[in-house]
Amino acid sequence: MSDCLFCRIVAGEIPAKIAYQDADVIAFHDINPQAPLHVLIIPRKHIATINDLQADDAALVGKLFLAAKHIATEAGYAENGYRVTMNCGADAGQTVFHIHLHLLAGRELGWPPG
């Protein structure tokens, strides 16, 4: 989708600081980090929200979480902990309508968030 910011990053039209990539997933550092490590992990395939997921996307969603584990481990945060979250819809805080995980680490993350 030409109007999707994340699709443009996937296409290489917009630069991003890449943290991880493979054939199905790309992860890049957030431009407004909320923690010392704040990476966005997205599928290369455009899926607007969780509500648009289909049964055949299950393996792809699993790959997003495996990428999060890999990035957290490589960055040295796996042992102390990290947060993985995904927003669905405007009321939940989703501002880019291409599903993405937020991986946050490097500081204590309280609950509830905010």
Whether residue 33 is preceded by a cis peptide bond, meaning omega within 30 degrees of 0, is: no
Q: Which of 70, 98, 100, 102 is catalytic?
A: 100
Instruction: Note if 102 is an active site residue.
Output: no
Site of tokens 């991880």: 20
The H or E element containing residue 72 is: helix 58-74
The H or E element containing residue 42 is: strand 37-43
Hey, which residues are catalytic here?
Answer: 100
